[in-house]
Amino acid sequence: MDYETFYRHSIEAPEAFWAEQAQLIDWQTPPRQVLDYSRPPFRRWFVGGTTNLCYNAIDRHLEARGDQLALVAISTETGLTRELSYRQLHREVNVFAAVLAALDVQRGDRVVIYLPNIAEAVFAMLACARLGAIHSVVFGGFAAHNLALRIDDAQPKLLIAADAGMRGGKVIPYKPLVDAALEQSAAPPPHVLIVDRGLDPQMTRVAGRDLDYAQLRKAHEQAEVPVAWLESNEPSYLLYTSGTTGKPKGIQRDVGGYAVAMAMSVRYIFDIAPGQVMFSTSDVGWAVGHSYNVYGPLIAGATSLLYEGLPTRPDPGIWWYLCERYSVRTMFSSPTGIRVLKKQDPAWLRKYDLSSLQWLFLAGEPLDEPTAHWITDGLGVPVIDNYWQTETGWPAITLMPGLELKRVKFGSPGLPAPGYRMKVIDEATGEEAAPGHKGVLVFEPPLPPGCLSTVWGDDERYLSSYFGHFKELLYSSLDWAIRDEHGYTTILGRTDDVINVAGHRLGTREIEESVATHPAVAEAAVIGVRDELKGQVPVVFATLKQDAGTQAGQVAQAMQQRVVDQLGGIARPSRVYVVNALPKTRSGKLLRRSLQALAEQRDPGDLSTLDDPGALEEIRRALERGP
Ligand code: ATP
Ligand code: MG
């Protein structure tokens, strides 16, 4: 089917459309009503239907594909690879679920999972889903304070943690962070279930509180744990947003709508059929990891690759080696990941046989055109930028090669995904902006299946964060965008980051993109800094490619000139700082708000999701030194 027909059907007859998609999953009881929209903007999909995410991800495949690979967990940190068939995954998840049940984890209870990107994280998530418990995965290695905040918000019955993670060959002990978090927490759970990888011989245990998973599992090796059938709108999991703009929000997901969105998107967006292989480089701690390392590919009966390690270790060819080794069809990564590789020799992109690889999807940050060209040319595979949020759970703007591949427009993630009614709203008038005019990207409710149900325990925050911005009831993405006459949307940056120079509004993206066209530039962040005369002026922080070999001063001048040539004098960066690293969140997003705060000599704010404090220190020094 062509994209237009499919999309139009989803908008004109949403209930018929989603009822058809609901056939892609197994229901214990079929839904009584496709959509209940009696309390806008809250909506309930597939009312009265009962199902289970774990059943759809594993049990239903056992008969047809029990011996097919379900999960391959590769670690270039420990050197371990685990390959699990659907039958083996079923066994491990039953054992894990039995251990959880023995610790009195019940339907509706929360379980915080603080594990690295290893197979046990997947077992733990699916075991919770099997029992109807609500998991909340916290990215492994987040500081104690972050973990404590999330524990206090979710109030879990149990915390599951590892002794340690590893990054770049270095062991990162988790247990001291867990101990500190539980000390800070106002509502610490009674038990910590420890997956001991044997990486930290110094690990200490608190008697009575800390339990060893390997010990407990012995009593349950043959356990069969029945699936808990949940009503479609019961919560399945919580996941906190990246915290790029401030305090993270606890996104609450449902069961049935999410399962249907996963089945539909893996098939028609990611072009994966049962038995095919999908490789997402994300960590399970992020939205992409939840949807396209765990639930999506498994619900689809595919094989999912999970990767613990850096993209450059043991060498910058590791991802492509894995594509060859496992005949990966669809790969999913982030612009940040590709920009890391861009600093390396492009010959790595051609070292392995990539004949199985059909698509490279990238999401999470704007994909600048130079990077998009570099990776497309280097791999010889179509690169598909796609836009979404933790809130949406799956792409909102993308191309859908599983239906048909529409034209790739560099710089734009493409067209609306099924079920998303999209508009760009002019902030001044509150009306829909004409094609080619900038504004806020919004979705008209009801949101499609898979998107958040609410903010955990805080309906008010759900309403005020997302629906309180316009006269009409509209979901604000809080991103700035522009649409062309063919419906292709380009994301220009976050609404918080818009730069206002003498009355002209500029998206950070526009200037970053322009700066990045300089061949020596690896990555750039642009912020607006207070200015007495103009209100704000753009300021650039950039990193250079390793082999750039040019003088930073010269490059800086050339960057300013490029912006003037491409966007006009009004956008000219008033200062350019060349640095070795830019501050990012753990999920690889530029922390522009912290850069801006430092440049304006303010407090950099909540840094709990900052990845490398060294990068911020360097910015501080660069600002003191001057451009
Ligand atoms: P918080 O909401 O806590 O501030 P966050 O918005 O960074 O954090 P995520 O949900 O992980 O948390 O990220 C979603 C955001 O990432 C989007 O709103 C958008 O700003 C950006 N983004 C994602 N994909 C793309 C893309 N393809 N192009 C441009 N921007 C993107
Ligand atoms: Mg956000």
Q: Is 594 in the pocket of ligand 1 (CB under 6 A)?
A: no
Q: Is 412 in the pocket of ligand 1 (CB under 6 A)?
A: no
Q: How far apart (Å, rounded) are the C-alpha atoms in residues 465 and 476?
A: 8
Instruction: Report the CATH architecture of 3-478.
Output: 3-Layer(aba) Sandwich (3.40)
Q: Is 366 in the pocket of ligand 1 (CB under 6 A)?
A: yes
The pLDDT value recorded for residue 613 is 84
Domain ranges of the chain: 3-478, 497-625
- 482 vs 426, 438, 486, 493, 504, CA distance in Å? 10, 5, 12, 10, 15
Beta carbons within 8 Å of 406's beta carbon, 6+ residues apart: 3, 399, 400, 414, 415
ipTM of predicted assembly, 2 dp: 0.99
Q: Which amino acid is at 502?
A: A
Q: Are 401 and 358 in contact (CB under 8 A)?
A: yes
Ligand 1, atom 5: closest residue by C-alpha: 242
Q: Is 528 in the pocket of ligand 1 (CB under 6 A)?
A: no
How many whole angstroms from 420 Cα to the centroid of ligand 2? 17
Question: Dihedral, CA atoms, 38, 49, 227, 252, nearest 10 degrees?
Answer: -30
Residue 218's pLDDT band, with cuts at 50, 70 and 90, is very high
- Rounded mean pLDDT of 567-596? 91
The secondary element (H helix, E strand) that includes residue 619 is helix 613-625
Ligand 1, atom 1: closest residue by C-alpha: 243
Ligand nearest to the CA of 289: 1
In the chain, count H helices and then E strands: 20, 32
Q: Is 289 in the pocket of ligand 1 (CB under 6 A)?
A: no
How many whole angstroms from 485 Cα to the centroid of ligand 2? 27
Q: How far apart (Å, rounded) are the C-alpha atoms in residues 3 and 8?
A: 8
For ligand 1, pick from 269, 489, 491 the residue to mutate: most ligand atoms within 8 Å of CB.
491
Q: Are strands 164-167 and 170-173 parallel, antiparallel or unpaired?
A: antiparallel
Say whether 137 sits in a helix, a strand or coil. strand
How many whole angstroms from 503 Cα to the centroid of ligand 2? 26
Q: How far apart (Å, rounded) are the C-alpha atoms in residues 198 and 202?
A: 10
The pLDDT value recorded for residue 588 is 86
Is residue 373 predicted with pLDDT exceeding 80? yes
Closest among 337, 428, 316, 338 to 76, alpha carbons compared? 316
Is residue 88 predicted with pLDDT exceeding 80? yes
Give the tens place of pLDDT for each residue, 237-256: 999 987 777 677 899 999 99
Q: Is 491 in the pocket of ligand 1 (CB under 6 A)?
A: yes
The pLDDT value recorded for residue 548 is 63
Check whether domain 497-625 has CATH 3.10.20.30, yes or no:
no
Give the tens place of pLDDT for each residue, 116-168: 999 999 999 999 999 999 999 999 878 898 899 999 999 999 999 999 999 99
The structure tokens listed for 406 are: 């529409």
Q: Is 450 in the pocket of ligand 1 (CB under 6 A)?
A: no
At residue 84, φ and ψ (nearest 5 deg) are -125, 130
For ligand 1, pick from 242, 282, 440 the residue to mutate: most ligand atoms within 8 Å of CB.
242
Instruction: Work out which ligand 1 atom sits closest to the CA atom of 509.
Output: 29
Q: Is 589 in the pocket of ligand 1 (CB under 6 A)?
A: yes
Is residue 418 predicted with pLDDT exceeding 70? yes
Query: CA 277, 278, 284, 290 torsion: positive or negative?
Result: negative
How many whole angstroms from 239 Cα to the centroid of ligand 2? 12
Q: How far apart (Å, rounded) are the C-alpha atoms in residues 395 and 75?
A: 27
Q: What is residue 368's DSSP assignment? A: -
Beta bridge partners, 164, equal 173
Q: How far apart (Å, rounded) are the C-alpha atoms in residues 601 and 432?
A: 37
Is residue 368 predicted with pLDDT exceeding 70? yes
- The greatest distance separating any two alpha carbons of the chain, rounded to the nearest whole angstrom, comes to 73
The pLDDT value recorded for residue 609 is 79
Closest among 54, 26, 218, 175 to 125, alpha carbons compared? 54
Instruction: Work out which ligand 1 atom sits closest to the CA atom of 286.
Output: 11
The CA R_g of the chain, rounded to the nearest whole Å, is: 24
Is residue 561 predicted with pLDDT exceeding 80? yes
Q: In whole angstroms, what separates CA 524 from the centre of its chain? A: 21
